[in-house]
């Protein structure tokens, strides 16, 4: 059985790379729904339907554990998938999201005010604010939507992405930590760090590898089912030259299939 990773586009490849670096012996299947991105601008119903189709595909690829490496899909669809879909459709499969591990990481340092930059749908759901307040109710949270950032990254237009990152960073006031609440944003994390030099920037590529390793260590019943041949299979719902360039930047010589 394999580890499945799903994202609304190619940003989740950054998280997959972090998983492979931390746990290179396992077998991975990646699926990026490039046909329907950006998810952040879609309705909750559409996001749920797209995520369900992706999870079904990864289950068909023999994935015993699936990480929804998309913050938008995590915020809109994860609870339904965990509580309603998986128990009936594939009770032996575990589906995890990226929000809770990110919140845990953000709160490891003493912080009075946390900023969250994310897609429209993630900000609209207030999932980060909700989960942060569950652990620290008195915490100040400032959420800002960055709808133009994912399209710029997926189009491999990093000049525009840098300008947008500076613009969004400047909109925050007096934060001491910033959560990059989208798996595309590790690709622009240095722009945010440059714009906010005194702010601790929490980037998901830097924490998810250790979080998955810890999860598998604690859940031996899943770990013992996972094959360890070091294979990687990459699928997207639509391929074009921009996606190919971005994928090659993250995984040089990547063999990416359209599904």
Q: Is residue 70 among the annotated active site residues?
A: yes
Q: Indicate if the pLDDT at residue 118 is higher than 90.
A: yes
In the prediction, which pLDDT does 154 show? Answer: 86
In the prediction, which pLDDT does 202 show? Answer: 98
In the prediction, which pLDDT does 11 show? Answer: 86
Supply 248's token pair: 């090659």
Q: How confident is the model at residue 200 (pLDDT cuts 50, 70, 90)?
A: very high
Residue holding tokens 């809109």?
Answer: 76
State how far the Cα of 86 lies from the Cα of 94, in Å rounded to an integer: 8
In the prediction, which pLDDT does 244 show? Answer: 87
In the prediction, which pLDDT does 243 show? Answer: 84
In the prediction, which pLDDT does 109 show? Answer: 87
Q: Indicate if the pLDDT at residue 55 is higher than 90.
A: yes
SS (H, E, C) the chain: CEEEEEECCCCHHHHHHHHHHHCCCCCEEEEECHHHCCHHHCCHHHHHHHHHHHHHHHHHCCEEEEEECCHHHHHHHHHHHHHHHHHHHCCCCEEECCHHHHHHHHCCCCCCEEEEEECHHHHHHCHHHHHHHHHCCCCEEEEEECCCHHHHHHCCCHHHHHHHHHHHHHCCCCCCEEEECCCCHHHHHHHHHHHCCCCEEECHHHCHHHHHHHHHHHCHHHHCCCCCCCCEEEEECCCCHHHHHHHHHHCCCCCEEEC
In the prediction, which pLDDT does 102 show? Answer: 97
Give the chain's domains with CATH numbers.
2-97+207-258 (3.40.50.1860), 100-203 (3.40.50.1860)
Q: How confident is the model at residue 242 (pLDDT cuts 50, 70, 90)?
A: confident
Q: How confident is the model at residue 217 (pLDDT cuts 50, 70, 90)?
A: very high
State how far the Cα of 17 lies from the Cα of 123, in Å rounded to an integer: 26
What confidence tens digit (pLDDT) does each residue in 11-37 have? 899 999 999 999 999 999 999 999 998
Please, what is the average pLDDT of the chain? 95
Express as a percent the part of the chain with pLDDT over 70.
100
Q: How confident is the model at residue 81 (pLDDT cuts 50, 70, 90)?
A: very high
- Which one has a higher pLDDT value, 234 or 11? 234
In the set 70, 76, 175, 180, the catalytic residue is 70
pTM, rounded to two decimals: 0.93
In the prediction, which pLDDT does 83 show? Answer: 98
Q: Is residue 63 among the annotated active site residues?
A: no
Q: Indicate if the pLDDT at residue 258 is higher than 90.
A: yes
Instruction: Please name every residue paired with 143 in a beta bridge, in sequence order, or none if there are none.
Output: 116
In the set 67, 182, 187, 196, the catalytic residue is 182
């Amino acid at each position: 059985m394999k580890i499945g990773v799903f994202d609304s586009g190619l940003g989740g490849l950054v998280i997959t790379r972090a998983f492979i670096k931390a746990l290179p012996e396992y077998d991975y299947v990646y699926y990026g729904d490039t046909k329907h991105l950006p998810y952040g601008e879609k309705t909750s119903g559409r996001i749920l339907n797209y995520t369900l189709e992706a999870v079904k595909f990864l289950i068909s690829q023999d994935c015993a554990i699936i990480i929804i490496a998309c913050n938008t899909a995590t915020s809109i669809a994860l609870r339904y998938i965990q509580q309603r879909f998986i128990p009936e459709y594939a009770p032996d499969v575990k589906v995890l999201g990226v929000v809770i591990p990110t919140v845990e990481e953000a709160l490891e340092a003493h912080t009075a005010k946390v900023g969250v930059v994310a897609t429209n749908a993630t900000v609209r759901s207030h999932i980060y604010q909700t989960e942060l307040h569950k652990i620290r109710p008195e915490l100040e949270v400032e959420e800002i939507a960055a709808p133009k950032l994912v399209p710029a990254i997926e189009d491999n237009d990093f000049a525009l992405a840098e300008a947008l990152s500076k613009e969004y960073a400047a909109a925050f006031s007096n934060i001491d930590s910033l959560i990059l609440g989208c798996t595309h944003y590790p690709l622009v994390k240095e722009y945010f760090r440059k714009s906010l030099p005194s702010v601790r920037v929490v980037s998901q590529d830097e924490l998810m590898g250790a979080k998955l390793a810890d999860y598998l260590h604690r859940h031996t019943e899943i770990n013992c089912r996972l094959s360890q041949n070091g294979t990687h299979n990459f699928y997207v719902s639509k391929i074009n030259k921009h996606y190919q360039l971005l994928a090659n930047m993250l995984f040089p010589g990547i063999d990416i299939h359209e599904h």
